[in-house]
């Protein structure tokens, strides 16, 4: 399978002047409990802005950029690559999702902020749709039917389960410990929520897709808050770095909850617990015992959110002078990307890379090295980026007869690819950049890991450094 699920985006509104790059602080803090997690630190310290590398006329958003550091790992393997949809400013505090004493007050705290999704389209600022807009609990209380979602413990919710209740999907996204997001008031500051050793502003995602009175809510948010649901559809690809990661997480969880109303073991309705990150099969419905279900006795087959690993790889020729790219028939003319495919059970990542490349293009790959990864929440992929090198001679021969997926696969000289990276990158649904010359190679934009992989190989990432 060849993947680059680019949406029909509406990123042309992006102004280059708004294009900012999150500079991330890279610190390790495993031991001090008061310290935010490494992931949170990695992502949360927005200190200054600098323009991301991009073609001059594209409206491609920024990427998270990791500051330089001098670890032994970097000395040996080079700098880490942070891809779009990674780098969330929130500390997920996943171990608190089951802690009722945390969730109940966090949900009601004045600093709690809510990201609304309507059919997976996020609420954004109307005058700058690269920014998410957050609301307060008071603004959505009607939609939540006045219910205090986390008032009851999970035991109580399971005991009182009624399969006819229309579920309200609320997901705990994490805590903004550094105050980088501004919250529902659009301002930093204000009272911080404290629990044990943690403090900051709690963030939640709320699915409003099936709410009665949704239109009234939208109108109110537009008039009073200058916010609207993103009009470009359920795949916003133009958010600033960090917020894109928050949206990706919220989208994946809201979508999974909505798609998973039934138990995979027994087929009966399930209930969302663990702050939106697990679904259980309650033993009773309105007090009446339900069919037996194995999930109640063992941990097997509970419903947890899916993550579907996908391998995506830039393959260089045996002599290192060319890159293997492929295209599907439905793609825009001259538009190529890296090969990709689903990781299958019972194979290593390296084997999946070799298998997919051979199945789709006939090319035989030798050594494979992992490069970086990218959450791709459409709906639940994790793109595992790799670089591989073809075997010489017959190994480089292209043959499309195994699998009908590709219309074409070709070896492109590095110079041609370099030119395309500079002048011909764009999202599938978007217009080509002004500098693009008709007939030349086109490639995905930097928000796609395919672009990052291609960029790495043309820059010689895979070549041994001279000691
Ligand atoms: Zn069940």
Q: Which domain holds residue 195?
A: 88-296
Residues with CB under 5 A from ligand 1 (ion): 263, 265-266, 281, 293, 295
Q: Measured in angstroms, how far is the CA atom of residue 119 from the centroid of ligand 1?
A: 27
Question: Are 272 and 155 in the same domain?
Answer: yes
Report, as an integer, the average pLDDT of 377-396. Answer: 97
pLDDT-derived band at 250, boundaries 50, 70, 90: very high
Report how many domains make up the chain. Answer: 2
User: Is 20 part of any domain?
Assistant: no
Q: Measured in angstroms, how far is the CA atom of residue 297 from the centroid of ligand 1?
A: 10
pLDDT-derived band at 375, boundaries 50, 70, 90: very high
User: Is 161 part of any domain?
Assistant: yes
Q: Measured in angstroms, how far is the CA atom of residue 102 from the centroid of ligand 1?
A: 28
Question: Are 443 and 356 in the same domain?
Answer: yes
Q: Measured in angstroms, how far is the CA atom of residue 296 from the centroid of ligand 1?
A: 7
Predicted local distance difference test score (pLDDT) of residue 345 = 96
User: Is 56 part of any domain?
Assistant: no
Nearby residues of 178 by Cβ (< 8 Å), 6 or more positions away? 36, 40, 44, 45, 46, 89, 200
Predicted local distance difference test score (pLDDT) of residue 27 = 29
| Domain end residue (candidates: 246, 263, 296) | 296
Domain holding 349: CATH number? 3.90.79.10
446 within 8 A of 426, measured Cβ to Cβ: no
Question: Are 214 and 329 in the same domain?
Answer: no
Question: Are 178 and 282 in the same domain?
Answer: yes
Report, as an integer, the average pLDDT of 436-449. Answer: 96
Question: Are 316 and 444 in the same domain?
Answer: yes
Question: Are 327 and 254 in the same domain?
Answer: no
301 within 8 A of 264, measured Cβ to Cβ: yes
- pLDDT (tens digit per residue) in 9-27: 333 222 222 233 333 333 2
Query: Rounded to an integer, what distance in angstroms lies between the CA atom of residue 277 and that of residue 304?
Result: 7
User: Is 344 part of any domain?
Assistant: yes
Look at 44-48, 170-174, 311-315, 459-463 and tell me which has the smallest mean pLDDT.
Answer: 44-48
pLDDT-derived band at 292, boundaries 50, 70, 90: very high
Q: Measured in angstroms, how far is the CA atom of residue 294 from the centroid of ligand 1?
A: 7
**Is the pLDDT reported for residue 463 higher than 90?**
no
User: Is 202 part of any domain?
Assistant: yes
Measure the CA angle with vertex 341, ends 339 and 346; round to 5°: 135
pTM comes to 0.86
| Domain end residue (candidates: 265, 296, 327) | 296
Q: Measured in angstroms, how far is the CA atom of residue 98 from the centroid of ligand 1?
A: 20
Q: Measured in angstroms, how far is the CA atom of residue 43 from the centroid of ligand 1?
A: 38
Report, as an integer, the average pLDDT of 410-436. Answer: 94
Predicted local distance difference test score (pLDDT) of residue 189 = 67
Residues paired with 388 in a beta bridge: 315, 368
Measure the CA angle with vertex 406, ends 405 and 408; round to 5°: 165
Question: Are 331 and 409 in the same domain?
Answer: yes
Query: Rounded to an integer, what distance in angstroms lies between the CA atom of residue 193 and that of residue 195?
Result: 7
Question: Are 281 and 315 in the same domain?
Answer: no
Predicted local distance difference test score (pLDDT) of residue 234 = 83
User: Is 335 part of any domain?
Assistant: yes
Query: Rounded to an integer, what distance in angstroms lies between the CA atom of residue 59 and that of residue 222?
Result: 25
- Kindly state the tokens that stand for 13: 């509104």
Q: Measured in angstroms, how far is the CA atom of residue 304 from the centroid of ligand 1?
A: 13
Omega cis (within 30) before 111: no
160 within 8 A of 169, measured Cβ to Cβ: no
Q: Measured in angstroms, how far is the CA atom of residue 198 from the centroid of ligand 1?
A: 35
Predicted local distance difference test score (pLDDT) of residue 185 = 78
Higher local confidence (pLDDT), 47 or 94 = 94
**Is the pLDDT reported for residue 184 higher than 50?**
yes
- pLDDT (tens digit per residue) in 21-71: 333 333 222 222 333 332 333 333 222 223 333 333 336 789 998 888 999
- Kindly state the tokens that stand for 358: 């051979």
Q: Measured in angstroms, how far is the CA atom of residue 351 from the centroid of ligand 1?
A: 35
Q: Measured in angstroms, how far is the CA atom of residue 298 from the centroid of ligand 1?
A: 11
| Domain end residue (candidates: 262, 296, 330) | 296
User: Is 322 part of any domain?
Assistant: yes
Q: Measured in angstroms, how far is the CA atom of residue 259 from the centroid of ligand 1?
A: 16
Question: Are 187 and 326 in the same domain?
Answer: no
Q: Measured in angstroms, how far is the CA atom of residue 280 from the centroid of ligand 1?
A: 8
């Amino acid at each position: 399978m060849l993947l680059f699920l680019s949406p029909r985006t509406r990123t042309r509104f992006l102004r280059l002047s708004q294009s900012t790059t999150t500079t991330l602080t890279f610190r390790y803090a495993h031991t001090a409990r008061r310290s935010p997690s490494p992931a949170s630190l990695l992502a949360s310290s927005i200190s200054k802005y600098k323009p991301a590398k991009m073609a001059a006329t594209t409206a491609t958003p920024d990427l998270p950029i990791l500051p330089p550091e001098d670890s032994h790992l970097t000395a040996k393997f080079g700098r880490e690559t942070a891809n779009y949809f990674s780098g969330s400013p929130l500390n997920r505090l996943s171990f608190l999702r089951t802690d009722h004493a945390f969730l109940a007050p966090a949900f009601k705290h004045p600093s709690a902020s809510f990201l609304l999704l309507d059919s997976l389209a996020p609420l954004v600022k109307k005058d700058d749709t690269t920014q998410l807009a957050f609301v307060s609990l008071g603004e959505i209380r009607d939609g939540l039917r006045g219910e205090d979602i986390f008032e009851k413990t999970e035991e109580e919710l399971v005991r009182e389960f009624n399969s006819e209740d229309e579920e309200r999907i609320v997901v705990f996204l994490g805590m903004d410990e550094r105050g980088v997001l501004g919250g529902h008031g659009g301002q930093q500051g204000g009272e911080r929520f404290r629990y044990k050793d943690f403090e900051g502003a709690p963030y939640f995602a709320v699915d409003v897709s099936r709410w009665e009175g949704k239109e009234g809510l939208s109108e109110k948010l537009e008039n009073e808050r200058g916010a609207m649901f993103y009009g470009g559809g359920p795949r916003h690809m133009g958010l600033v770095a960090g917020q894109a990661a928050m949206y990706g997480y919220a989208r994946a969880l809201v979508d999974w909850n909505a798609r998973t109303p039934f138990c995979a073991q027994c087929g009966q309705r399930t209930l969302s617990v663990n702050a939106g990150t697990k679904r259980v099969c309650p033993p009773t419905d309105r007090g009446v015992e339900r069919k037996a279900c194995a999930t109640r006795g063992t941990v097997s087959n509970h419903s947890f959110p899916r993550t579907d690993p996908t391998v995506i790889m830039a393959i260089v020729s045996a002599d290192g002078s060319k890159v293997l790219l492929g295209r599907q028939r439905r793609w825009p003319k001259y538009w190529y990307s890296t090969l990709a495919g689903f990781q299958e059970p019972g194979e290593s990542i390296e084997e999946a890379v070799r298998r997919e490349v051979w199945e789709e293009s006939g090319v035989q790959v030798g050594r494979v090295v992992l490069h970086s990864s990218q959450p791709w929440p459409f709906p639940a992929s994790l793109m595992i980026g790799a670089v591989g090198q073809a075997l010489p001679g017959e190994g480089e021969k292209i043959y499309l007869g195994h699998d009908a997926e590709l219309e074409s696969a070709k070896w492109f000289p590095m110079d041609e690819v370099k030119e395309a990276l500079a002048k011909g990158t764009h999202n599938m649904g978007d217009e080509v950049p002004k500098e693009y010359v008709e007939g030349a190679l086109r490639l995905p934009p930097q928000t796609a890991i395919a672009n990052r992989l291609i960029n790495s190989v043309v820059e010689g990432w895979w070549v041994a450094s001279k000691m």
